[in-house]
Amino acid sequence: MRQHEQELEALGVRVAIVTFEAGFLAQAYVRDTELRWPLLVDRERALYHAYGMLRAGLLDVWGPKTWVAYARALLRGGRLEKGGEDVYQRGGDVLIDPAGVVRLHHVGDGPADRPSIASLLAAVRDAVA
């Protein structure tokens, strides 16, 4: 998403990142990613639960999709990072318009399951049209 930051801003999108990890891990994430968007800490995971982002299973986290995603990241020059305190916490993406209407709700099957930036941008364009 960071590669499309200017386009998101031009469309009037405000991005917030939500994590359940606080303290050092949250600070390290902001530093390592040079995050410019707000980082919201949800230690009790209320937002995660409200949007159905519960715990993933063993194969969701360590299955073939994850290894393929890791291999792609390595081939692009990325590096693998040690997981945080709960690698089984599902993540996802939620797009909420200014009226509070949820325009996109995606719960990831595992760490490699995210909607494409094209589908996120399409949902934004649909919401502002």
**Positions of E strands within the chain:** 17-19, 39-41, 92-96, 102-107
Give residue-wise pLDDT tens across range 78-118: 766 666 678 888 999 999 888 888 989 999 988 778 898 89
pLDDT for 10-36, tens place per residue? 888 888 999 998 888 889 889 988 998
- pTM of the predicted protein model: 0.74
- The CATH number of whichever domain residue 105 belongs to comes to 3.40.30.10
Residue 8 belongs to domain spanning: 2-128
Tell me what the mean pLDDT of segment 48-72 comes to. Answer: 82
The angle at the Cα of 114, spanning 111 to 73, to the nearest 5 degrees, equals 60
Domain count, the chain: 1
pLDDT for res 12: 83
